[in-house]
Amino acid sequence: QLHLQESGPGLVKPPETLSLICSVSGGSISSSSYFWGWIRQPPGKGLEWIASVYYSGKTYHSPSLNSRVTTSLDTSKNQFSLKLSSVTAADTAVYYCGRGLESGRTGKWFDVWGQGTLVTVSS
Amino acid sequence: SYELTQPPSVSVSPGQTTSITCSGDKLGDKYACWYQQKPGQSPVLVIYEDRRRPSGIPERFSGSNSGNTATLTISGTQAMDEADYYCQAWDSSTVVFGGGTKLTVL
Protein backbone atom coordinates (compact mmCIF):
# COMPACT_ATOMS: atom_id res chain seq x y z
CA GLN A 1 0.00 0.00 0.00
CA LEU A 2 1.37 3.39 -0.97
CA HIS A 3 2.39 5.64 1.88
CA LEU A 4 3.51 9.27 1.72
CA GLN A 5 5.25 11.05 4.57
CA GLU A 6 6.11 14.74 4.72
CA SER A 7 9.16 15.90 6.66
CA GLY A 8 10.89 19.18 7.33
CA PRO A 9 11.26 21.99 9.88
CA GLY A 10 8.13 22.90 11.77
CA LEU A 11 9.28 26.48 12.23
CA VAL A 12 10.73 28.77 9.59
CA LYS A 13 11.77 32.38 10.05
CA PRO A 14 10.74 35.03 7.56
CA PRO A 15 12.05 35.66 4.93
CA GLU A 16 13.87 32.31 4.81
CA THR A 17 13.11 29.34 2.55
CA LEU A 18 10.70 26.59 3.56
CA SER A 19 11.97 23.15 2.54
CA LEU A 20 9.93 19.96 2.70
CA ILE A 21 10.44 16.41 1.54
CA CYS A 22 7.82 13.81 0.76
CA SER A 23 9.09 10.25 1.18
CA VAL A 24 7.20 7.62 -0.77
CA SER A 25 7.02 3.96 0.27
CA GLY A 26 5.08 1.04 -1.15
CA GLY A 27 5.47 2.31 -4.69
CA SER A 28 7.86 4.06 -7.05
CA ILE A 29 7.80 7.71 -8.03
CA SER A 30 9.54 6.70 -11.26
CA SER A 31 6.29 5.99 -13.07
CA SER A 32 4.72 7.87 -15.89
CA SER A 33 1.31 6.75 -14.61
CA TYR A 34 1.31 9.31 -11.81
CA PHE A 35 2.28 12.82 -10.89
CA TRP A 36 3.20 14.14 -7.47
CA GLY A 37 1.90 17.24 -5.79
CA TRP A 38 1.99 19.64 -2.90
CA ILE A 39 -1.12 21.13 -1.31
CA ARG A 40 -1.37 23.34 1.77
CA GLN A 41 -4.08 24.33 4.21
CA PRO A 42 -3.75 27.41 6.45
CA PRO A 43 -5.21 26.88 9.93
CA GLY A 44 -9.00 26.89 9.76
CA LYS A 45 -9.04 27.50 6.01
CA GLY A 46 -9.42 25.56 2.78
CA LEU A 47 -7.07 23.62 0.55
CA GLU A 48 -4.66 25.42 -1.75
CA TRP A 49 -2.72 23.69 -4.52
CA ILE A 50 0.96 24.60 -4.65
CA ALA A 51 2.62 22.51 -7.35
CA SER A 52 2.66 19.28 -9.33
CA VAL A 53 5.71 17.47 -10.68
CA TYR A 54 5.97 14.65 -13.21
CA TYR A 55 8.56 11.92 -13.70
CA SER A 56 9.21 13.42 -17.12
CA GLY A 57 10.48 16.54 -15.36
CA LYS A 58 7.46 18.64 -16.25
CA THR A 59 6.33 20.87 -13.39
CA TYR A 60 3.33 23.10 -12.80
CA HIS A 61 3.12 25.73 -10.07
CA SER A 62 0.30 27.83 -8.66
CA PRO A 63 0.34 31.22 -10.42
CA SER A 64 0.09 32.97 -7.06
CA LEU A 65 3.20 31.22 -5.74
CA ASN A 66 5.03 30.50 -8.98
CA SER A 67 8.03 32.76 -8.52
CA ARG A 68 8.73 31.41 -5.02
CA VAL A 69 8.24 27.67 -5.65
CA THR A 70 10.77 25.03 -6.65
CA THR A 71 9.87 21.35 -6.90
CA SER A 72 11.90 18.30 -7.83
CA LEU A 73 11.96 14.51 -7.83
CA ASP A 74 14.78 12.40 -6.39
CA THR A 75 14.26 8.97 -7.89
CA SER A 76 17.31 7.52 -6.13
CA LYS A 77 15.64 8.19 -2.78
CA ASN A 78 12.05 7.74 -3.99
CA GLN A 79 11.09 11.17 -2.71
CA PHE A 80 10.15 14.60 -3.98
CA SER A 81 10.68 18.02 -2.53
CA LEU A 82 9.24 21.50 -2.20
CA LYS A 83 11.06 24.75 -1.61
CA LEU A 84 9.13 27.95 -0.97
CA SER A 85 11.26 31.06 -0.74
CA SER A 86 10.78 34.40 0.99
CA VAL A 87 8.17 33.06 3.39
CA THR A 88 5.86 35.23 5.47
CA ALA A 89 3.32 34.50 8.17
CA ALA A 90 0.77 33.94 5.40
CA ASP A 91 2.65 30.77 4.47
CA THR A 92 1.85 29.18 7.82
CA ALA A 93 -0.12 26.06 6.99
CA VAL A 94 -0.35 22.30 7.07
CA TYR A 95 1.52 21.11 4.00
CA TYR A 96 0.40 17.89 2.33
CA CYS A 97 2.03 15.85 -0.38
CA GLY A 98 -0.04 13.65 -2.62
CA ARG A 99 -0.02 11.24 -5.52
CA GLY A 100 -1.86 12.42 -8.57
CA LEU A 101 -3.65 10.58 -11.33
CA GLU A 102 -4.92 11.96 -14.57
CA SER A 103 -7.47 11.04 -17.18
CA GLY A 104 -7.85 12.60 -20.55
CA ARG A 105 -7.17 16.27 -20.93
CA THR A 106 -8.78 17.65 -17.81
CA GLY A 107 -9.05 14.87 -15.26
CA LYS A 108 -6.49 15.25 -12.50
CA TRP A 109 -6.95 14.25 -8.89
CA PHE A 110 -5.00 13.19 -5.81
CA ASP A 111 -5.81 9.65 -4.68
CA VAL A 112 -3.27 9.26 -1.89
CA TRP A 113 -2.31 11.97 0.62
CA GLY A 114 0.35 12.21 3.27
CA GLN A 115 -0.63 12.95 6.86
CA GLY A 116 0.48 16.56 6.52
CA THR A 117 3.02 18.60 8.42
CA LEU A 118 2.41 21.94 10.11
CA VAL A 119 4.87 24.64 9.16
CA THR A 120 4.76 27.84 11.17
CA VAL A 121 6.44 30.96 9.85
CA SER A 122 7.48 33.20 12.70
CA SER A 123 10.50 35.12 13.85
CA SER B 1 -7.85 32.62 -12.83
CA TYR B 2 -10.40 29.85 -12.63
CA GLU B 3 -12.60 29.71 -9.55
CA LEU B 4 -14.82 27.05 -7.99
CA THR B 5 -17.58 28.17 -5.65
CA GLN B 6 -19.14 26.02 -2.93
CA PRO B 7 -21.70 26.88 -0.25
CA PRO B 8 -19.92 27.37 3.08
CA SER B 9 -22.24 25.03 4.94
CA VAL B 10 -24.96 22.45 4.46
CA SER B 11 -27.05 20.69 7.09
CA VAL B 12 -28.85 17.36 6.83
CA SER B 13 -30.74 15.02 9.10
CA PRO B 14 -29.46 11.46 9.52
CA GLY B 15 -30.86 9.13 6.89
CA GLN B 16 -31.73 11.93 4.50
CA THR B 17 -30.19 12.72 1.12
CA THR B 18 -28.08 15.82 0.74
CA SER B 19 -26.27 17.53 -2.12
CA ILE B 20 -23.26 19.82 -2.17
CA THR B 21 -22.73 21.96 -5.24
CA CYS B 22 -19.59 23.29 -6.88
CA SER B 23 -19.89 26.00 -9.50
CA GLY B 24 -17.40 27.13 -12.10
CA ASP B 25 -17.43 28.48 -15.63
CA LYS B 26 -18.18 25.58 -18.00
CA LEU B 27 -17.24 23.15 -15.25
CA GLY B 28 -19.21 20.46 -17.05
CA ASP B 29 -16.57 20.51 -19.79
CA LYS B 30 -13.95 19.43 -17.28
CA TYR B 31 -13.67 16.52 -14.88
CA ALA B 32 -14.48 17.30 -11.25
CA CYS B 33 -13.54 15.37 -8.15
CA TRP B 34 -14.45 15.58 -4.48
CA TYR B 35 -12.57 15.12 -1.22
CA GLN B 36 -13.84 14.53 2.29
CA GLN B 37 -11.83 15.92 5.19
CA LYS B 38 -12.60 15.22 8.82
CA PRO B 39 -11.08 17.34 11.62
CA GLY B 40 -7.39 16.72 12.09
CA GLN B 41 -7.21 14.31 9.16
CA SER B 42 -5.92 14.41 5.60
CA PRO B 43 -8.39 14.76 2.74
CA VAL B 44 -9.79 11.55 1.28
CA LEU B 45 -10.85 11.23 -2.36
CA VAL B 46 -14.53 10.23 -2.54
CA ILE B 47 -15.39 10.97 -6.20
CA TYR B 48 -13.21 11.36 -9.32
CA GLU B 49 -13.98 11.81 -13.01
CA ASP B 50 -17.28 13.43 -12.03
CA ARG B 51 -18.97 10.26 -10.80
CA ARG B 52 -16.49 7.44 -10.15
CA ARG B 53 -15.97 6.14 -6.61
CA PRO B 54 -12.55 4.94 -5.44
CA SER B 55 -12.36 1.51 -3.89
CA GLY B 56 -13.64 1.56 -0.33
CA ILE B 57 -15.91 4.58 -0.72
CA PRO B 58 -19.53 3.72 0.18
CA GLU B 59 -22.12 3.61 -2.58
CA ARG B 60 -24.12 6.34 -0.85
CA PHE B 61 -21.62 8.82 -2.31
CA SER B 62 -22.36 9.81 -5.90
CA GLY B 63 -21.44 12.63 -8.23
CA SER B 64 -22.59 14.43 -11.33
CA ASN B 65 -21.33 17.32 -13.45
CA SER B 66 -23.14 19.32 -16.09
CA GLY B 67 -23.21 22.87 -17.32
CA ASN B 68 -21.55 25.04 -14.71
CA THR B 69 -22.20 22.83 -11.70
CA ALA B 70 -20.78 19.65 -10.23
CA THR B 71 -22.76 18.00 -7.46
CA LEU B 72 -21.81 15.59 -4.71
CA THR B 73 -24.81 13.66 -3.40
CA ILE B 74 -24.86 11.61 -0.22
CA SER B 75 -27.83 9.26 0.11
CA GLY B 76 -28.86 8.03 3.53
CA THR B 77 -26.43 10.40 5.22
CA GLN B 78 -24.79 9.02 8.32
CA ALA B 79 -23.28 10.79 11.29
CA MET B 80 -19.84 9.67 10.12
CA ASP B 81 -20.30 11.72 6.95
CA GLU B 82 -20.06 14.97 8.92
CA ALA B 83 -16.96 16.61 7.47
CA ASP B 84 -15.66 19.31 5.15
CA TYR B 85 -16.02 18.56 1.46
CA TYR B 86 -13.92 20.11 -1.29
CA CYS B 87 -14.42 19.98 -5.03
CA GLN B 88 -11.46 20.18 -7.35
CA ALA B 89 -10.89 20.61 -11.07
CA TRP B 90 -8.03 21.38 -13.44
CA ASP B 91 -7.85 24.41 -15.66
CA SER B 92 -5.06 26.00 -17.67
CA SER B 93 -2.36 23.83 -16.12
CA THR B 94 -3.47 24.56 -12.58
CA VAL B 95 -5.25 22.48 -9.97
CA VAL B 96 -8.15 24.44 -8.49
CA PHE B 97 -9.96 23.69 -5.24
CA GLY B 98 -13.32 24.99 -4.18
CA GLY B 99 -13.51 26.83 -0.89
CA GLY B 100 -15.03 23.86 0.91
CA THR B 101 -18.42 23.02 2.40
CA LYS B 102 -18.94 22.04 6.01
CA LEU B 103 -21.54 19.29 6.17
CA THR B 104 -23.35 19.06 9.49
CA VAL B 105 -25.45 16.00 10.27
CA LEU B 106 -28.03 17.18 12.80
What pLDDT is attached to residue A57? 87
For B90-103, the pLDDT digits (tens) are 999 999 999 999 99
| Preferred mutation among A110, A111, A117, A118 to probe B, highest tally of B CBs within 10 A | A110
Average pLDDT over residues B60-66: 98
Q: Is B27 on the interface with A (CB under 8 A)?
A: no
Q: Evaluate if residue A32 carries a pLDDT over 90.
A: no
A35-46 tens-digit pLDDT: 999 999 999 999
d(CA A68, CA B82): 36
pLDDT digits (tens, 9 = 90+) for A59-84: 999 999 978 999 999 999 999 999 99
Q: Are B97 and B87 in contact (CB under 8 A)?
A: yes
Nearest alpha-carbon partner for A82 in A67, A94, A93, A97:
A97
Which has the closest alpha carbon to B4: B17, B20, B19?
B20
- What mean pLDDT value characterizes chain B? 97
Share of chain A above pLDDT 70, in %: 100
Alpha carbons B106 and B13: distance in angstroms, whole number: 5
Q: For chain A, give the mean pLDDT.
A: 95
Could you tell me which chain A residue has the CA closest to the CA of B1?
Answer: A63
Question: Residue A106 pLDDT > 90, yes or no?
Answer: no
> Per the CB < 8 Å rule, is A103 touching B98?
no
Residues from chain A contacting residue B37 (CB–CB below 8 Å) = 47
Q: What is the dihedral of CA B96, B102, B61, A117, to 10 degrees?
A: 60
Which residues of chain A approach chain B closer than 8 Å at the C-beta? 37, 39, 46-49, 52, 60, 62-63, 96, 101, 103-104, 106-111, 113-116
Question: Residue B65: its pLDDT value, please?
Answer: 98
